[in-house]
Amino acid sequence: MTFLRRFGIDGYMLVLLGTVVLGAVLPVRGIAAEGLGYITWGAVALLFFLYGVRMNAAEVWAGLTNWRLQGLSFVATYVFFPVVGVILATVMRPVLGNELATGLLFLSVLPSTINSSIAFTGMAGGNVSGAICSASLSNLIGVLLTPLLTALVLHQGGGLVTGGAVLKIASQILLPFLIGQMLRRWLGEFVRRHKVLTMVVDRGSILLIVYSAFSASTVAGIWGLIPPVTLVILFGVILLYLAIAMRGVLGLAALGRLSPPDRSALFFCGSTKSLASGLPIAAALFPASIIGTTILPVMMFHMTQLLVCAVVAQRAARRSAEVVA
């Protein structure tokens, strides 16, 4: 396990992979599947409620004073990424098919990661406070902007987003988040004291969504529709996407003349995409029969970014240690 941690793979990542396999081998069916759907819906709502309780609006507002970092982070996440995603999805749609191409489009409009991007920034000796603000603000904006951008890019690609789906987003994600913000004064301290409990809800929600999604896909016979060679091609596209994203973010940092600490914060916040936010939004947007295929690019990108960012952050940390020495 120690060897795996060097490459960004921890126990939870292994459990996540095991959940994918479980959903493919032992899917839930019938009434049990319907019950799991209700449980998953409640878990998603609880997840975003806790997001609302945990996010400190004052800290986010204070971080906005770093206009250059926050502006470039927004451009990287919600402008550069979607443009590249539309191009890749359009070019690769004949090879990957509509659902995987839709997954690439959905991936392109997701917010940045929170925990991992901040951790990697700290490991690399970057601007941690800027990263906290950038990642938090990205997810705060993403609650509203991701569904809107999803509707825009999928409309161009023949997607399935409707007004009813946006309403579902509001009731399942936005409303619990706002309630959490309103109750933060009374529940904030409780949530901070019980980090293990909130971590279980956070990660448990993801596991429920993954199992439910891959179960539904297995019951629908989706895996027989995706040839192994297509999965290999998808992984190659994901690697290309991540490489373009990271190079593009470094270009934005150079264009904005950011300091080295701010450059690290922008790199890790601007070139990553949130699995934690993406899966709940996908669960609210897409039919159960196709969600497994649609989120496959998101999961593949997330796992790949962790591995690459872990290596980049460790190398940056070693360089910093050599300079100090």
How far, rounded to the nearest angstrom, does the alpha carbon of residue 305 sit from its chain's CA centroid? 10
Interacting residues of 146 by C-beta distance below 8 A, sequence separation 6+: 109, 110, 111, 277, 281
Distance, CA of 86 to CA of 83 (rounded, Å):
5
Distance of CA 70 to the CA centre of its chain: 18
d(CA 6, CA 217): 33
List the pLDDT tens digit at each of the 325 positions of the chain.
Answer: 555 555 555 676 678 778 888 988 888 888 888 888 888 888 878 877 887 787 776 655 666 677 888 899 999 999 999 999 999 999 999 999 888 998 999 999 998 987 778 778 887 888 877 887 788 778 778 777 887 787 777 664 444 444 555 566 667 777 888 898 889 889 988 887 887 777 777 778 778 877 887 787 788 776 666 788 998 999 999 999 999 999 999 999 999 898 888 999 999 999 999 887 787 778 777 777 777 788 889 888 987 888 788 778 878 877 766 655 5
Q: Please, are residues 247 and 225 in contact by the beta-carbon 8 Å criterion? A: no
* 174 CB-contact burial (10 Å; exposed 0-12 / middle 13-18 / buried 19+): middle
User: How far is the C-alpha of 205 from the C-alpha of 10, rounded, in Å?
Assistant: 18
Amino acid at 174: L
Cα 180 from chain centre: 21
Task: Tell me if the domain spanning 25-314 has CATH number 2.60.120.10.
Answer: no
This prediction has a pTM of 0.74
